[in-house]
Amino acid sequence: MALLSEGELYKLVNDVSKKYFHKPFMDKVVYNNRLRTTGGRYLPQKKLIELNPKYMLEMDENEYIGIIKHELCHYHLHIEGKGYQHRDPEFKALLQKTNSPRYCNPLPSNRNTYKHTYKCKNCGQIYRRKRRVDISKYRCGKCKGELYVL
């Protein structure tokens, strides 16, 4: 899916809002290139939805619609004065009602970015890490055996 203009993005979010929530989306939606580990976020102070453009480029349309539905759950509950945070029962119920995802899947470009691999001497458990681990301080989580670098 190609990136949409600001007007097209607003139209998409408004259409999703009308289809799944039967309410219009009245505020602003923008792309935020600085989002790294999430597909989007809702800022209640500004009534603003920020979406990660990388998800639109790398994932399929259903995944992106799911992210929009998730953020709209936050938005509509906040507008109505109900619990809009992840821990609130109203939020969890609306996620289920609209078949929205609780979390988004990781980006394909962020997968398998492990630089360090460790293995347990006893049980053979393999650990992949982005950051280096001091093997003199850490042990295997399964059997407490020593780790070594692969």
Answer yes or no: 71 catalytic. yes
Which residue among the candidates 50, 63, 71, 146 is catalytic per the annotation? 71
Q: Is the dihedral of CA 128, 129, 133, 139 positive or negative?
A: negative
Report the alpha-carbon distance of residue 88 to residue 135 in Å, rounded: 40
Report the alpha-carbon distance of residue 104 to residue 38 in Å, rounded: 7
Q: What residues are paired with 41 via a beta bridge?
A: 50
The letter for the amino acid at 50 is E
The letter for the amino acid at 38 is T
Q: What residues are paired with 124 via a beta bridge?
A: none
Rounded to the nearest 10 degrees, the angle between the axes of helix 89-98 and helix 61-79 is: 140
* Residues forming the active site: 71
